[in-house]
Amino acid sequence: MKKKIVPFFVFLMAFISSCGNGGNDQLSVDQLILDVQVKNNLNAQNIVIDNFAHFISFDFGKGADISNVELEFTLAEGVTMVSPKTLDTTFNFNESPSITVKSNNVEANYKLKFNYYIPDFDPSEKGWVQDNSFGTLPEYLTVYKYSGNFDGKSVKAYIAVADMNDANARFSVLGEAHYNAPTPTPIQFYQNNSQPKIVMNGGYFWDGYSLGLLIRGGNTINVDQPMVYRTYNGASTIYYPTTGVIGQNADGSFSANWCYSPDANTKTIYTYTSPSPNKVNEAPQQFPSATFPTVGTVWAPKEAIGAGPILIKGGVYKNLWENEMFDSASGIGATSTNPRSAIGYLSSGYLVFFVCEGRNKTPLTPGLTLQNVADMLLEIGCTEAINLDGGGSSCMLVNGNETIIPSDGSQRKITNAVAIY
């Protein structure tokens, strides 16, 4: 952290304490507060202590949780803290906090201010190497390759990282609710949609039908109303899981959510703080609603795609694929090694498309489990992430060029995709 104490060549005449001192006591403005440290890791920089104007300003990395900032103050000799009482205190910067110090029975109030800056994204410390072999990309977009071992496995993976703070960067969901033949491949999505810089396969599908949420330009292309059949008490039984989606909010940020659209006509999307607690071999949970599995929040993203399970929520790995009904019957293979595709997001504004090869298309490269993918995305700072369709569907194109070798040997026909322009 960089700290700066503003020098002064003048002194403020006097501050009268609330108890009244008749103007006889003077409070020098020269370095009443000598130092302040941010104790929790918030990427704080350029801390400025202004003893003349009575404020302290901080630059926090965009996306930092400023509701819980722990500060430790160092005061000049003879100066004491009035409010708060201790030198080490936690502040909520959303509430315009301040501190009060006292010297010679005279009090001075300091406002605590902040600004945001955009932290640099650099995954090189985690083994990712920038790959410039796919042609020219805009300044806001970078591709990295991972060729090494992770969790004892040989890995070949790529990430395309877009700085969504740049007004020119654009995320889009491609595809339709249903395709009559022919269903497009990723390269056809690239060719038929103004050649996005990045195209990656999207959510699940069956027989030409998309199975998850699709929102493009604020319009719902396919509603989020998943249902699956599992055997319960010897009979085929319907379950209604609240599966993971990821989308771009009205303010430009991204979030991963457990969602459901109870009414296919109104297409209202509810997000929940936890998924419906369905499990195989247990009775199905009730149909999701505005009040179940938790109180629902209406969500209206600009762009969104459904798949699942959620891998990361609020910076924490979520091992809830059973509740989303991605069990062995789903074909997702949550705990087995497979080619994988995923979308991650850093609260500082970076969007990450992830893809890894598998099934030994490159010798001795089996693929990754869902937790492996989550761990790799957590390592580079993702705070939100969901799994997309994987296996033979996994494919990411950069300027129309393949990154990994598709496990089918060629690109699979898919009904939806995601893109960065």
Residues of the chain with pLDDT under 70: 1-30
- Sequence-distant (6+) residues with CB within 8 A of 24 are none
Does 327 lie in the same domain as 277? yes
The C-alpha atoms of residue 44 and residue 36 are separated, in whole angstroms, by: 11
Task: Tell me the one-letter amino acid at 12.
Answer: L
Domain, as residue range, for 101: 3-117
Residues 287 and 393 in one domain: yes
CA distance 339 to 198: 18
Residues 62 and 99 in one domain: yes
Residues 332-344: tens digit of each pLDDT? 999 999 999 999 9
Residue where one domain finishes, among candidates 117, 137, 155: 117
Residue 200 and residue 401 in contact, taking contact as beta carbons nearer than 8 Å: no
Count Cα atoms within 13 angstroms, Cβ side, for 97.
20
CATH number of the domain where residue 59 is located:
2.60.40.2340
Distances (CA, A) of 253 to 152, 200, 222, 270, 345: 34, 20, 22, 18, 9
Both tokens assigned to 207: 């027989």
72-113, pLDDT tens digit by residue? 999 999 999 999 999 999 999 999 999 999 999 999 999 999
Residues 105 and 154 in one domain: no
Helix (H, G, I), strand (E, B) or coil at 179: coil
pLDDT at 297: 98
Cβ atoms < 10 Å from Cβ of 416: 30
pLDDT at 28: 52
Residues 102 and 138 in one domain: no
Q: What's the rounded Cα separation, in Å, for the pair 144 and 394? A: 17
Domain count of the chain? 2
> Of the candidates 97, 117, 137, which is a domain's last residue?
117
- Residue that the structure tokens 């936690």 belong to: 90
User: Which residues are within 8 A (CB) of 53 and not within 5 positions of it... i.e. 6 or more apart?
Assistant: none
* 318 plus 288 within the same structural domain: yes
The last residue of a domain, from among 72, 97, 117: 117
Which amino acid, residue 98? S
Instruction: Mark whether 108 and 170 lie in a shared domain.
Output: no
What pLDDT score was predicted for residue 395? 98
DSSP 339-396: -EEEEEEETTTEEEEEEE--TTSSTT---B-HHHHHHHHHHTT-SEEEE---GGG--E
Say if residue 384 is in the same domain as residue 246: yes
State the pLDDT at residue 21: 38
Residue 4 CA to residue 56 CA, distance in Å, equals: 10
Query: What's the rounded Cα separation, in Å, for the pair 85 and 109?
Result: 13
Q: Mention every residue, 6+ apart, whose C-beta is less than 8 A from residue 52.
A: 6, 8, 10, 12, 29
Neighbours of 231 (CB within 10 A): 11
d(CA 118, CA 60): 9
**The pLDDT of residue 344:** 98
Q: Pick left, alpha or beta for residue 311 (phi over 0 → left; psi -120 to 50 → alpha; otherwise beta).
A: alpha
pLDDT of residue 31: 84
Give tens-digit pLDDT for 246-273: 999 999 999 999 999 999 999 999 999 9
Q: 113 and 153: one domain?
A: no
∠379-384-389 over CA atoms, to 5°?
95
pTM: 0.90
Question: Are both 10 and 148 inside the same structural domain?
Answer: no
The count of residues in the chain is: 421
Same domain membership, residue 148 and residue 89: no
- Give me the pLDDT at residue 150, please: 97
Within 10 angstroms of residue 112's Cβ, the number of other Cβ atoms is 18
Domain identity same for 277 and 414: yes
* pLDDT of the residue at 25: 44
217 burial (CB, 10 Å; 0-12 / 13-18 / 19+) is: exposed
